[in-house]
Amino acid sequence: MIYLDHAAATPISKKVLKKMEPYFLHDFFNPSAAYMPAKKVNAKYEAAKASIAHTIGAKSSDLIITAGATEANNLAFTAIKKPQGAKKVLYLETEHDSVRQIAQKYGGEKIKVHSSGIIDLNDLKNKITDETELISIALVNNEIGTIQPLAEVSAIIRDVKIQRLKKGIKTKLLLHSDASQALNLIDINVARLGIDLLTMNSAKVYGPKGVGALYVSHDAKLNPIILGGGQENGLRSGTENVPGVIGFAEALEEAKKHLASNRKKYATWKKVLLKELHDYELINKKHTLDNFIVICYNRIDAERLIFLLEEKDVYVSTGAACAASKGVRSHVLKAIGLSDTQIAGSLRITLGETNDESQIKKAAKIINEVVEKERERIKNAG
């Protein structure tokens, strides 16, 4: 198998799995229980939370553990007061559906992107009003890997806050970012980037699935969407996922340790792949993570290509897994100006730790053969 869809899911690393194992078998206690073995487990849980927070320059008390990025994104939006006519939310038009749908619920307005996928900062400036409370921009796009200039966005927000103070307006303006795709390759510091709410996802960083976290600054006041025992500062009730959080912490530590070498490795593999592939159009040319490659084969159905490649044990995607499974055309590719034909022929390839250079070359050879046969089939059918 040649797996080239690491943006959809990553396998759990052996180191992470080994770190988690005792908390399934021996140290299985409920961290909220009063006896000593449970208290020791609670201490390990809190240490893991502190480790996760440390990787983004935060403290353990700033984190709310969730069941993944979707829940974290939804929880972040509870920082908004209930809308009363005014549009209080701005969100990038290329955001993941878990942001788009909750933003639309609050009457959110889209921020445009350029053809590169980078945010249109002038459009952002023009759309911020005195009523805007929350701006949501993913650090890295989940379909094309575009890295957004969040420091520049933060600078704009700071200027808006200064102007509001001068006018006596006390409405808060918060910046939320979904960093699910960024944790493995970008060194993130919430203070440096000026982020108030940050979504994190273990499933994209070789950690266990079903675990995520939301960083919450002191300026953001949230409301729980899950009620019960009052865990996670009362914002996310439910028995703590001890093995999941310990695994997440280990995965992030490993990612942090290898950031530079991973970037270099993926940049090399990307060059190899693009050199070996034939007759394609590269869609995401600039400002992208090195492991994201989006290519278009004009007038060929990419969904058909995916099935043909699967028969040869090569796994790629047409975009976000949740959208692809429903046969929905990519709103991201539409936002960057691609035609319907280009969108229909686009493949997302995301490199990762299951790959090596020989695999990349072999995958390119198989993709070339499948595309050539498909073009011949279309020619003969026409």
Q: How far is 178 from 201, CA to CA, in rounded Å?
A: 9
φ and ψ of 211, to 5 deg: -135, 130
Two structure tokens written together for 46: 């809190």
End-to-end CA distance of the chain: 33
Q: What is the largest CA-CA distance in the chain?
A: 74
**Token pair listed for 342:** 């280009």
The DSSP bridge pattern shows strands 89-92 and 134-136 to be parallel
CA separation for the pair 264, 2 (Å, rounded): 21
Residue 78 DSSP symbol = G
Q: What share of the chain is helix, strand, coil (3-state, %, to 5)?
A: 45, 15, 40
Decide if 212 contacts 69 (C-beta within 8 A). yes
Distance CA 14, CA 55 (A): 20
Known catalytic residue: 296?
A: no
Neighbour tally for 376: CB within 10 Å: 10
CA torsion 179→180→182→184, rounded to 10°? 140
Given 114, 322, 329, 334, the catalytic residue: 322
Using alpha carbons only, give the angle 222, 235, 173 rounded to the nearest 5 degrees. Answer: 15
Please name every residue paired with 174 in a beta bridge, in sequence order, or none if there are none. Answer: 134
Query: How far apart, in whole angstroms, are the C-alpha atoms of residue 303 and residue 314?
Result: 13
Partners of 350 in the β-ladder: 5, 292
Provide the token pair at 202.
Answer: 């273990």
Mind telling me the catalytic residues?
322
